[in-house]
Structure 1
Amino acid sequence: MTEERTLILVKPDGVANGHIGEVITRLENRRFKIEALKVVNATPEQLREHYKALVGKPYYPGIEKFMTSGPLVAMIASGTDIISVFHKMAGATEPSKADIGTIRGDFARNWEGGPIQNVVHSSDSPESVARETPIWFPELS
């Protein structure tokens, strides 16, 4: 078991549908610590850096359009094994495959066409945390 940090983004659909508090409550109920929190209007430059591996894909413009469609909430949370635990709390990336009781299983659904709108993003490894954190929290670098 390892004490670690993760980056969590409540995506524009989660913000627009009022799920910020629920995401925070679920973190706090697990007794994870929120170390940083802010509302951000993502720029195309931030998104191209964040989704660097996807930029050349044909579906990337839809992701960028969705992620700039409204504000998002960025947070750094910490706790023992938080990276893997929050991934379980978030549920499967595709909302139709996410278990009920997970964030995506409770608050997301599939939409015809366009990018997946699945409420939250979280870093999937310590390396991703190290790469993604400065994009959203340059002041912590």
Structure 2
Amino acid sequence: MADVQGFVFDGYEEVRKVFAGHLDSGQDIGASFCATRNGETVVDIWGGYADAAKTKPWVKDTIINVYSTTKTMTALTALLLADRGLIDFKAPVAKYWPEFAANGKANVTVAHLMSHSAGLSGWKETITKADLYDWEKATSLLAAQAPYWEPGTAAGYHAM
């Protein structure tokens, strides 16, 4: 059976078993899973490898690209923040991220970002896979670049 690290509370042992089964069968080469119930973490497990060559073990804080699976949570979180008065969809992004105002983006609103109409459907500068995981580089490139189109006039699917 696969070496699964972490913990499961009593009553959640089946989660570890199913998780290990996915690693053993090859359905996943590496993964992590965390679940909370009533605000308490009841499962926090990881195992396998973080690379196809199986040379980098998956560890507790392995960082991976989960592509668009976070969009729903991002939207719900933004709505919760708006409901609490902590973010304003009509406000410019630069209110929260001053560097973002560069190159014609001073009037890009949070709503533009959330609706994929900010004119930033990708990086203009060629980036590498490693750049996607480099927070400083990825954010500074986005902050510095000009929009592809006038914000609010068109939509283009993007990672934000």
Which TM-score tier does this pair reach, normalised by the shorter chain? under 0.3
User: TM-score, normalised on structure 1?
Assistant: 0.26
Pick the structure with more strand per residue.
Answer: 1
Q: For the pair shown, which has the larger CA radius of gyration, 1 or 2? A: 2
User: TM-score, normalised on structure 2?
Assistant: 0.24
Pick the structure with more helix per residue.
Answer: 1
Higher relative CO (Cα under 8 Å, sequence separation at least 6) belongs to: 1
